[in-house]
Structure 1
Amino acid sequence: MQKMNARQGAAETHTLRVASYNIRKAVGLDWRRDPHRIADVLAEIDADVIALQEADKRLGARAGVLPLQRLEAELGYRMVEVSMGPHSHGWQGNAILVRSHLRDYGSERISLPTMEPRGAVSVRLQDPELEIIGLHLGLTPGMRRKQMLNLQKLMAERDHPVLLAGDFNEWNTGRIPFAPPNTVVTPGPSFHARRPTVQLDRFVLGPGLRSVSSHVHQSPLSKRASDHLPIVVDIAFTGALK
């Protein structure tokens, strides 16, 4: 009941809940691939939009690992079209789930400087007008910085609110180059799920957006479903883009 009241309050203040979750191809800490366990965690979070990392298997046809029919029928999510393969959910493992009542202008695959199969994907919502970019950055500091500077430039060129969500693979907040008017939101330690001590997962809010609250989603289920914990932010729209 408390969760329902909180979500009702968010709706009254015109907020949107966005989550980011590295699902490790749905392989939990027990080394079992259990897509329905991931779906159960997503049901606990109750977000409007979810950026996922490692949503596809790494080898072969890079098939997606999520139970899409269940996500649509029970949770009301649709998968944003960003895949280049018939069996994949995302691009370079990045995928986005959007609640079915939210309309969008379309989706995009965003190339980043990389020496690994990494990148970003985006969806631009119509109402509220917002572009959400899901990302999974590289393993080396120099490459991550190039990727973040590329994304910072992209955000500056947009004429609508933009939110970045994903696994930045960066534990040192001093190496996050996003400066005002952007706001970096680090909800807390999200890795390793068994004993979270490192802040790898973050959001970046561009102009026109404000963080109302944020948290790392910790539950008995989320502590087993992946090696990352999901992160969540509730955002409000300020209307000021400069």
Structure 2
Amino acid sequence: MTPPDAEQGARGRAGRSPRARTQKLFGTGLARNLAGSLAALRDRHGVPVLPSVPLPPTTGPEITVASYNVHKCVGTDRRFDPSRIAQVIGEISPDILAVQEADRRFGRRTGLLDTAALRDCGLQMVQVSRLPDGHGWHGNALLVRQGTALQIHRLSLPGAEPRGAVLVEMELPGGRLRVVAAHFGLLKRCRMRQSAAILEAIGRGPTMPTLMLGDLNEWRPGRRSSLRPLESLFGGVSFGPPSFPSRMPVFALDRILGWPHGLVREVRAHDTPLARIASDHLPLKAQLSLAQAAAGENVAEAA
């Protein structure tokens, strides 16, 4: 059964062609040439497709991390289908997964994910929701394969619309890790304040490798990017792999970031036929090496 907010959205979009919906979302000019716009932006601002300096060789075991805006489990075909979302997650087989829009947006914020299917994938929900039948905090859910949550911090982010983030300090088989799962707002000035709030919250905690995942709603590069405050910790964040819209991914709205340098490797979109239908965003996935992070911290201390 489709949730009420999904039904209202589907009725509002009924009768519009895909081109009309795209023009409404992105503007007529961009809609005419979606396929080439990201490449043009990268070229205009001198942003390479791949990092210009290769990362050092990895050491020790790696784990797979992922971020996925599931659009309240409503696909590009406007069907509410949590099992389909679970299948996409099963394709990725992540060890740590941040999910955005995991709960109903209006009324009681009950969870929308197929938790039984996700358990079959080996993932357990971190209890970030304050509701017994909720999955996330402001829609941000966190799932892990192995690990223990030591501290959970729920942030209400500043801005014109309700947004939030969760910071979870975890004990993993490879060591300790802080995981930040966030969904930023639609206005640039709000995203700037939200970036600052995240950094402040990280600064209040102990020093440890930090992973940030989520839909940060920013595709602009360089000085125009609202994510520039995050560069003070995570380095360059201007671009990630294009993940939106899922049927023709052009805009890099989603991010996987890590500190120290070398913690996160090989960030890419999970682009499969099922992922292009299950949500309006493609998931992002990456490899994470806690051993590499420890080596980076030791080098920084020696310097």
Question: Structures share a fold, TM > 0.5?
Answer: yes
State the 1:117 CA deviation. Answer: 1.6
Which digits, 9 at most, give the CA deviation of each residue in 1:89-115, with x for residues without a partner?
A: 11111100111x322313221222122
What amino acid sits opposite 2:152 in the alignment? S
Which structure 2 residues correspond to residues 174-185 of structure 1 after superposition, within 5 A?
174=222, 175=225, 176-177=227-228, 178-184=230-236
Q: Is the contact made by 2:102 and 2:111 (CA closer than 8 Å) also made in structure 1?
A: yes
Gap runs ≥5 in structure 1: 1-10
Q: Is the contact made by 2:209 and 2:263 (CA closer than 8 Å) also made in structure 1?
A: no
Question: Percent of aligned positions with the same letter in both sequences?
Answer: 39
Query: In the aligned structure 2, how far is the partner of 1:184 from the partner of 1:123?
Result: 23
Q: Which moved more, 1:170-179 or 1:40-49?
A: 170-179
Which structure 2 residues correspond to residues 136-215 of structure 1 after superposition, within 5 A?
136-158=183-205, 159-174=207-222, 175=225, 176-177=227-228, 178-184=230-236, 186-207=239-260, 209-215=262-268
State the 1:125 CA deviation. Answer: 1.6
Partner of 1:6: none
Query: CA separation of 1:124/1:167 partners in 2, compared to 1, >3 Å: closer, same or farther?
Result: same
Partner of 1:110: 155
Match for 1:31 among 64, 67, 78?
Answer: 78
Query: In the aligned structure 2, how far is the partner of 1:23 from the partner of 1:116?
Result: 19
State the 1:122 CA deviation. Answer: 2.4
Query: In the aligned structure 2, how far is the partner of 1:61 from the partner of 1:180?
Result: 37
Match for 2:169 among 124, 134, 138?
Answer: 124
State the 1:63 CA deviation. Answer: 1.5
Query: In the aligned structure 1, how far is the partner of 2:264 from the partner of 2:85?
Result: 25
What amino acid sits opposite 1:223 in the alignment? R
TM-score, normalised by the number of residues in structure 2: 0.71
State the 1:209 CA deviation. Answer: 4.6
Matched, 1:87 2:87: no
Higher radius of gyration, 1 or 2: 2
State the 1:203 CA deviation. Answer: 1.8
Query: In the aligned structure 1, how far is the partner of 2:261 from the partner of 2:124?
Result: 26
Query: CA separation of 1:172/1:106 partners in 2, compared to 1, >3 Å: closer, same or farther?
Result: same
State the 1:225 CA deviation. Answer: 0.3
Q: Which moved more, 1:214-223 or 1:77-86?
A: 77-86
Which digits, 9 at most, give the CA deviation of each residue in 1:49-100, with x for residues without a partner?
A: 100000011122122111112211x11111111112232111111100111x
DSSP 3-state at the match of 1:172:
coil
Gap runs ≥5 in structure 2: 1-57
